[in-house]
């Protein structure tokens, strides 16, 4: 029977290969992270990634781009009226009961509160609607009766920004459901290859970036672990231009174990606010990815 460490590593590889199609149990709502054991391999890797990004073309491109680190969909202010509407949203079961407009212009402007702006192509209302809904499912539905182009405020890697948004009218609600009408910039090519040595207990990839606090003083991530360990841990290394997150598993022992892949949310707190520093996954050498794994 495979060892616990080998099974966890295999599960992570299969999850990556399936593009997140594998199912993992996500437990916890931003629990405080366990203290990682001294891990010289992970620490050395984090410093290597930080040095590679420092002053790189990738870092310059990242600071010029539009990279949301907050949810691109914002619910009506009075959501939800009942359990059926909540269920409809959670299953993304919307029903179009009207016609959606086309954009009067091709581009939209992203404006940062700290200064600076970026012009990006606008997404048509129909495209935005198709991102929001799966549609046609059984059970309760939320009727959408129309939409208009407006704005919303969204957390990004460069701080809060005002972005173009499609404001969808939902039957029975006084305020709209908002969906950002511009897509994120293309991520830059990282200046370093992914980590290729060691076991999954030594260093592993983060599953996803869940979100950051408004003041930038805490970051919540989802990290994977197995069924026969003490759970994941996330260590932090800070530099002037980046914050490195190194995920690992604690309490692992060799021996028979089920091949179950679990996910847990952990909240880490840098010594100072994140600001415009790039948040990096030490394993992949890439910016931590926001949203679904």
In tens, the pLDDT along 182-239 reads 999 999 999 999 998 655 557 888 988 998 888 889 999 998 877 777 788 899 999 9
In this structure, is residue 293 part of a structural domain?
A: no
Claim to verify: residue 248 and residue 272 sit in the same structural domain? yes
Claim to verify: residue 193 and residue 54 sit in the same structural domain? yes
Claim to verify: residue 165 and residue 217 sit in the same structural domain? no
- What backbone torsions phi and psi does residue 166 show, to the nearest 5 degrees? -90, 125
Q: How confident is residue 255, by pLDDT bands cut at 50, 70 and 90?
A: low
Residue 292: what pLDDT? 55
Claim to verify: residue 165 and residue 208 sit in the same structural domain? no
* 139 strand-pairing partners: none
pLDDT tens profile 37-90: 667 888 999 999 999 999 999 999 999 999 998 889 999 999 999 999 999 999
Q: Cα dist. 27→4, 222, 250 in Å?
A: 20, 9, 16
In this structure, is residue 122 part of a structural domain?
A: yes
Tell me the residue range of the domain where 146 lies.
73-180
If phi over 0 gives left and psi between -120 and 50 gives alpha, with beta otherwise, what is residue 11?
Answer: alpha
Domain boundary among 180, 215, 237: 180
Claim to verify: residue 205 and residue 265 sit in the same structural domain? yes
Residue 134: what pLDDT? 82
Q: Which residues of 69-106 are buried (b: 16+ CB within 10 A; e: fewer)?
A: bbebbbbbeeebeeeebeebbebebbbbeeebeebeee
Claim to verify: residue 105 and residue 25 sit in the same structural domain? no
Could you tell me the two tokens for 21?
């199609």
Number of domains in the chain: 2
In this structure, is residue 292 part of a structural domain?
A: no
Q: Residue 258 pLDDT > 80, yes or no? A: no
Domain boundary among 117, 148, 180: 180
In this structure, is residue 240 part of a structural domain?
A: yes
In this structure, is residue 230 part of a structural domain?
A: yes
In this structure, is residue 152 part of a structural domain?
A: yes
Radius of gyration of the chain (CA): 21
Domain boundary among 120, 153, 180: 180
Claim to verify: residue 176 and residue 82 sit in the same structural domain? yes
Claim to verify: residue 112 and residue 169 sit in the same structural domain? yes
Residue 16: what pLDDT? 40
Looking at residue 256, the DSSP 8-state letter turns out to be: B
Residue 212: what pLDDT? 86
Claim to verify: residue 96 and residue 127 sit in the same structural domain? yes
Claim to verify: residue 56 and residue 194 sit in the same structural domain? yes
Could you tell me the two tokens for 9?
């590593």
What DSSP assignment string belongs to 38-102? P-HHHHHHHHHHHHHHTT-HHHHHHHHS--B-S-SEE--TT--SSHHHHHHHHTT-EEE-SPPPP
| Residues 270, 63: Cα–Cα separation, whole Å | 19
Claim to verify: residue 156 and residue 195 sit in the same structural domain? no
In this structure, is residue 93 part of a structural domain?
A: yes
Contacts for 151 with CB less than 8 Å, ≥ 6 apart:
162, 163, 164, 165
Claim to verify: residue 92 and residue 110 sit in the same structural domain? yes
The whole-model pTM stands at: 0.77
């Amino acid at each position: 029977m495979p060892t616990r460490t080998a099974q966890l590593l295999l599960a992570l590889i299969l999850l990556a290969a399936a593009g997140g199609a594998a199912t993992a149990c996500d437990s916890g709502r931003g629990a405080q992270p366990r203290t990682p054991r001294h891990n010289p391999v992970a620490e050395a890797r984090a410093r290597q990634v930080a040095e590679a990004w420092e002053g790189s073309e990738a870092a310059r491109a990242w600071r010029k781009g539009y990279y949301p680190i907050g949810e691109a969909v914002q619910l009506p202010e009075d959501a939800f009226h009942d359990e059926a509407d909540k269920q409809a949203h959670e299953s993304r079961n919307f029903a179009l009961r009207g016609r959606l407009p086309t954009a009067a212009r091709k581009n939209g402007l992203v404006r940062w509160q700290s200064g600076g702006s970026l012009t990006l192509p606008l997404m048509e209302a129909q495209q935005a609607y198709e991102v929001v809904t799966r549609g046609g499912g059984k059970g309760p539905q939320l009727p959408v009766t129309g939409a208009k182009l407006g704005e919303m405020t969204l957390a990004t890697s460069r701080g809060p920004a005002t972005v173009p948004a499609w404001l969808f009218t939902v039957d029975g609600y006084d305020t709209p459901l908002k969906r950002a009408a511009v897509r994120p910039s293309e991520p830059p090519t990282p200046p370093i290859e992914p980590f290729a040595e060691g076991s999954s207990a030594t260093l592993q990839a983060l599953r996803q970036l869940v979100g950051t606090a408004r003041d930038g003083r805490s970051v919540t991530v989802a990290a994977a672990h197995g069924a026969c360990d003490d759970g994941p841990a996330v260590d932090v290394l800070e530099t002037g231009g980046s914050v490195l997150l190194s995920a690992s598993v604690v309490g692992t022992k060799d021996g028979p174990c089920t091949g179950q892949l679990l996910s847990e949310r952990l909240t880490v707190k840098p010594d100072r606010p994140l600001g415009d520093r790039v948040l990096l996954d030490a394993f992949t050498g890439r910016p931590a990815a926001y949203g679904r794994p």
